[in-house]
Structure 1
């Protein structure tokens, strides 16, 4: 999309389960229009840099006089691991994007924060690209609910994820990263994808509960992986109950 519409050219700072680093950025030749950093890096297992690594990365962007943009769709979930407030985290970047429909469980929608002149231009491009709706009221109401109710729970969700990830390997379920950086992480089992999906479907039909998103083949033959996200519904179970249920459904015929 952006390549065709705006003529952008992209250089990737990392691939796979690897975070972009200051060193990788320093090696890129030539001038850059902007640098984008996803927090957390979902395709790598919801990985986050440390606060010092993130600060150093942002400082290099300033040295290079290159605008830094945070794709912070899950920025809310990143604060507990980084150990700093949302305003301080976003303040490292020139602009930041946040989502209202992922961790905040809103209907849809997002926001971009930055200098007034930049945001004014973003607003123009939103309209040019067909992103301005007739009314934002339902989305704004659901976003405000998420800001009020979900953001204060993010530390609790993260603590639960860390506790669950500590328990699962004892039951035969591998986790990555260990410990989780956010309230979401990858889980892996030594079961074929079709088999594990069949078990999950059987459980969902019987209990009217979906435990995980769809599963995919792992790099190791015979293994499969998916993501597990801790949210308000997860807290209805103790960590031991959730771990036992996952092991029973995923590993038992």
Structure 2
């Protein structure tokens, strides 16, 4: 199983919407996908999907439910592990809580791809998710503050591990603008932090995406013919093409790295 962490330096760049729609595109390509809400302060994947969770990660941490028991189908071909707003940072979990999470992994398998939607910024929990995942996709927009903050999360990750990072440029006016942004961030990453940053796609600015958010329905479902939906599908295919899934490590490997066990 592969783990994809979708993150950003700045909030409001469309990261959560992209996580959902990329997950749907990957699921439609024949993979079994699990979405995990990694925003430990303001969990909202379920909100954008119009789902009210009965159980969340908080119940797993407290030892009241296993991960398998809190997984919910979304109705869009992929499953969801809902987060809990206000849950303690994973870095602060005690030994009992850590063991509760690890124990809950037993018997949970069968997924090809785990997509983690992190919170924004460079807090400890965001970095833990990024470092535990197989691949990290950094989302940015053309706004100067978004670019600055995207570089911030890139530096923070590479300072701890020299892992290849991927870039997804959202809300751009054209493919040319996306290329300029990608070239700029790739150049400074290579020059100043000596890391690898690969642009895997872009999504054009589209008012239909905002309408889908307000409707609490995925953009790929409501507007499958939109150019922005096609760009999302193309990005999803780049993320999975030519990859052989590895089931040996699975969720256990990811969570053990995440929790430092």
Provide the TM-score with structure 2 as the length reference. Answer: 0.26
Q: Which has the larger radius of gyration?
A: 1
Provide the TM-score with structure 1 as the length reference. Answer: 0.26
